[in-house]
């Protein structure tokens, strides 16, 4: 059996679903961030697989490079905000931080 496009897509879909579960179920901000990384990696494996089996024109790989850049930016800002939040609240539990209620 040769490994084809669909195999990679299924891996991407599983990672995406796991990432969503992680974002929904985890309580701490860093836990949610782990879920976000899973989702971004799911998008990337799709892009690269499509590039390899579909177009072969490298645009998918270029997009994947930019996704990695954005992931790095997002992670840096998110962790800065999380640490800032920790300095203010003494916790990163998203349920404890509930000054904003409506």
Partner 1 sequence: MSAFTAQTLANCRAIAPELALIAALMAVLLVDLALLSRRSTGASVWVAVAGLGTAFALLTRFQPTDAVIFSGAIRLDSLALFFQKIFILGAMAVCLFTAANAEIFAEYRMGEYYALVLSATLGAMFLAAANDYIILVLSLETLSLSSYVLAGYLRVDRRSSEASMKYILYGAVASGVMLFGISYLYGMTGTLRIAETFAPLRQGTQSFTFFVAFALLLCGIGFKISSVPFHNWTPDVYEGSPTPISAFLAVVSKSAGFAILLRLVLQAGMAAPGFDVAAAARHLTASGLDIVFWILAAATMTVGNLVAIRQTDIKRLLGYSSIAHAGYLLMAFTVMNSAAWDAVLFYFVVYYLMTLGAFYVAITLEAQTGTTEMSACRGMWVASPYLVTAMVVFLISLTGLPPTAGFPAKLKLFKVLIDAALGTGMPRGPWFYLSLALIGVGNSVVSLYYYFKIVRAMTLERFETLPSIRLSVFDLAAMGALLVAVIFLGIYFQPVEEFVQTALSSLGGAARVVGGL
Partner 2 sequence: MSDFFQHFGQTVAFIAITAVVIGSALAATFAKSIVHASFALFFTLLGMAGYYFLLGADFLGITQVIIYVGGILVLLLFGVLLTSRSLDQLQIRSRASYIAASAVGLAVLAMLWKAIIRGPWQHVTPVVPQQTTQSLGRLLLTDYLLAFEFSSVTLLAALIGAAYIVRRREK
**Which one of residues 50, 52, 61, 68 is an interface residue with partner 1 (CB under 8 A)?**
50
- How far apart CA 99 and CA 91 sit, in angstroms, is 13
Verify binding: residue 58, partner 1, rule CB under 8 A. no
Q: How far is CA 84 from CA 12, 22, 89, 90, 97, in A?
A: 33, 23, 9, 10, 13
Verify binding: residue 53, partner 2, rule CB under 8 A. yes
36 contact, one of partner 1, partner 2, none, CB 5-8 Å limit per kind: partner 1
3 contact, one of partner 1, partner 2, none, CB 5-8 Å limit per kind: partner 2
93, β-bridge pairs: 28
How many residues make up the chain in this entry?
102
One symbol per residue from 11 to 40: x for binding partner 2 (CB under 8 A), - otherwise; what is it?
x-xxxxxxxxxx-xxxxx-xx-xxx-xx--
Verify binding: residue 99, partner 1, rule CB under 8 A. yes
**DSSP codes joined into one string, 2-45:** ---HHHHHHHHHHHHHHHHHHHHH--BHHHHHHHHHHHHHHHHH
Distance, C-alpha 49 to centroid of its chain: 18
Q: Which of residues 66-85 bind partner 1 (CB under 8 A)?
A: 66-67, 70, 73-74, 77-78, 80-82, 84-85
Q: Least distance (Å) from partner 1 to the CB of residue 56?
A: 9
């Amino acid at each position: 059996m040769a490994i084809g496009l669909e195999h990679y897509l299924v891996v991407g879909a599983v990672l995406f679903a796991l990432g969503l579960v992680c974002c929904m179920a985890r309580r701490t901000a860093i836990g949610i961030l782990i879920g976000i990384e899973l989702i971004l990696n799911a998008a990337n494996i799709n892009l690269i697989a499509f590039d390899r089996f579909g177009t072969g024109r490298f645009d998918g790989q270029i997009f994947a490079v930019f996704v990695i850049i954005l992931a790095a930016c997002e992670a840096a800002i998110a962790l800065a905000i999380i640490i800032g939040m920790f300095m203010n609240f003494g916790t990163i539990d998203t349920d404890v931080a509930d000054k904003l209620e409506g």
